[in-house]
Amino acid sequence: MATTIRLPVSGGTLQDYTVVNTPLAAPQRPAGGHAFNRVAYAAAHVVVDPLADNDPWLARNIDWQRTIAFREYLWDLGLGVAEAMDTAQRGMGLDWTGAKELIANVQSAAHQRPDALIAYGAGTDHLPPGPDIGIDDVIRAYEEQVAYVEGQGGRIILMASRALAAAAKNPEDYVRVYDRILRQVRQPVIIHWLGDMFDPALSGYWGSRDDIEAMETAIAIINDHASKVDGVKISLLSAEKEIIMRRRLDAAVKMYTGDDFNYAELIAGDEQGYSHALLGIFDAIAPAASAALHKLAKDDLAGFHDILAPTVPLSRHIFKAPTRFYKTGVVFLAYLNGFQNHFQMLGGQQSARSMVHLAELFRLADKARVLRDPDIAAARMKTILATIGI
């Protein structure tokens, strides 16, 4: 029998919703590993320990067993892991001390898997922005985090810096910082351009509040150091801007889409190129992402879109404004799908979205076929609803 659940809707009323879709079967790991024709990273969330006796807004309480297990699950699906990024609540509950512990634990797990694709965020989040912070301070902060990641044997995702955004007076300051860091790195890095819809403190990055003007500085830096740049992840939620930048990158530099609104079309590409993927939504829709990438690798573009198209409304809902709260939806879906037995987050961020928002997420996840067991998901949804008297 179909499962029916009463869910809240806008306006303060309740409506019955009947689960309509069967779960999408995740591709089995082939003996020789997955063979995709796109590089695909999922930016992964962390799982907290809800039984820790601490102050949840202030202290870290990571459940390492479940956090590592989720990364194993992503690797089994053929996806890479983008570690210690904003999806892991970096800068919003996970500080640099916690990030170092996360990096060390996950790198240890990755050593046990020759097929594990992984890269780690290195930034300056241990350096609080302030009037006394200068460009040399930013450089030293980047160097410290880069040295730590490389000391662990990891590859780097060079994250955008709040301290740099606050300290820079012009585009030349960005050139100076990135030139210094890129000349030192051991392996090619992924540069992350995170838009201010994800982090308001990054407004005006690359020296301009106009994204097209800012892009000129970013492209010049990247192309001047093409041998040290594996790719650039652009998170501006604009397919048009991503395509403009993609077509101007050095041929050796990949574009990694960070567009959680338009990823399907950007990964599919056009006659002039395509984007690879480094996406927070791939954490939430990992089986669909893996199945779709299998189709694309077999030149089955229709099959690719058939699988991913229903996930786009879900992703746009999870990443709706205020976009910086998207992590709440990602972790809620992990709870519904049984990857953790609670809906708790670092810094109490489970409270960042309304119950109406979470109810709509449940509906859209069902329609996207990413609820692994709809009956269990519905039971867990009812548990959450009971906390507000439904």
Tens digits of residue pLDDT in 60-108: 899 999 999 999 999 999 999 999 999 999 999 999 999 999 999 999 9
Is residue 388, in this structure, part of any structural domain at all? no
CB count within 10 Å of CB 114 equals 7
Query: Residue 195 sits in a domain of what CATH number?
Result: 3.20.20.70
Is residue 384, in this structure, part of any structural domain at all? no
Is residue 16, in this structure, part of any structural domain at all? no
Please state, rounded to an integer, the average pLDDT across all residues of the chain: 96
Q: What tokens appear for 15 in the block?
A: 């409506």
pLDDT at 161: 98
In a 3-state reduction of DSSP, which class is residue 16? strand
Is residue 280, in this structure, part of any structural domain at all? yes
In a 3-state reduction of DSSP, which class is residue 139? helix
In whole angstroms, what is the distance from residue 79 CA to residue 278 CA? Answer: 10
In whole angstroms, what is the distance from residue 175 CA to residue 239 CA? Answer: 25
In whole angstroms, what is the distance from residue 235 CA to residue 214 CA? Answer: 13
- Domains held by the chain: number: 1
Is residue 191, in this structure, part of any structural domain at all? yes
- Supply the range of the domain harboring residue 312: 36-347
Per-residue pLDDT of 30-41, as tens digits, reads: 777 788 999 999
Sorting pLDDT into bands at 50, 70 and 90, what band is 272? very high
Residues 85-102 as b/e (b if ≥16 CB within 10 A, e otherwise) read bbbbbbbbbbebebbbeb
Is residue 356, in this structure, part of any structural domain at all? no
Q: What is the value of pTM for the model shown?
A: 0.96
Per-residue pLDDT of 119-160, as tens digits, reads: 999 999 999 999 999 999 999 999 999 999 999 999 999 999
pLDDT at 164: 98
pLDDT at 59: 85
Per-residue pLDDT of 294-338, as tens digits, reads: 999 999 999 999 999 999 999 999 999 999 999 999 999 999 999
Is residue 20, in this structure, part of any structural domain at all? no
Mean pLDDT of 234-245: 97
Is residue 19, in this structure, part of any structural domain at all? no
In whole angstroms, what is the distance from residue 89 CA to residue 345 CA? Answer: 9
CA distances from 267 to 5, 315, 389 (A): 35, 15, 43
